[in-house]
Amino acid sequence: MLSKQPASSKNGSLIITVEGSQSERNIPRSNVTSWTKLVLDMHPPGTSIRTVTCSYCNVEQPPRAKHCHDCDRCVLQFDHHCVWLGVCIGWGNHCRFWWYIFEETALCIWTGILYITYLKANISRAWLKDVIMILLLVTLSIALIFLLLLLIFHSYLILTNQTTYELIRRRRIPYLRAIPERVYPFSKGVCRNLYSFCCARSSIYSLERLPTAMELEDKSRPYTCLEFLTCRCC
């Protein structure tokens, strides 16, 4: 999450790393100027500070951050606000959200197997109970389809290093408008995307800069068979 302080943690600071740089920058609470400069460096040249400043929180947003009106705060790497859990999904909890969907899907499959096993063993007995079980199985099947689609969708987002907000509102995000639809500007390759998603430390946030025109051209070029064999896509 973003607060009025540019970065915060238990000891008053958050380690901010810049993608493509070997250095790590430890930004204290009071050093707002350093945070502003760092955020502007992440956006395309010529971006004004007014453009990247949240009108609600009055804090400079790095790329991929967005203000959530439900939570009334800015969220790093904003994905969506989950009405079922009552929290924003973004940096720090997106991985746990994926595992939550996975566990719910596995639970639905296991419950469906139990229902079917019961119906096979007791189909000729109390018919009223069988009707209720069949109705429950139909409801469970609908829930399972929804969960499977949600799991597949978020798995796709993880592999391409995208968020739900970026995918749906791409043409409304200023720094993504000029990038072609099939180009994933923040993708580092499937394996590195998975590693960043699953193994990222909660005390470190890596600011992801926008790719240059040459990098975008390289990302938009289709992979050849040789590049697949040499794992260039990873």
| Residues recognised as catalytic | 82
* Angle at CA of residue 27, ends 48 and 58, nearest 5°: 40
How many angstroms separate the CA atoms of 184 and 175, rounded? 13
159: Cα separation from own chain's centroid: 10
Tokens of 198: 């699953």
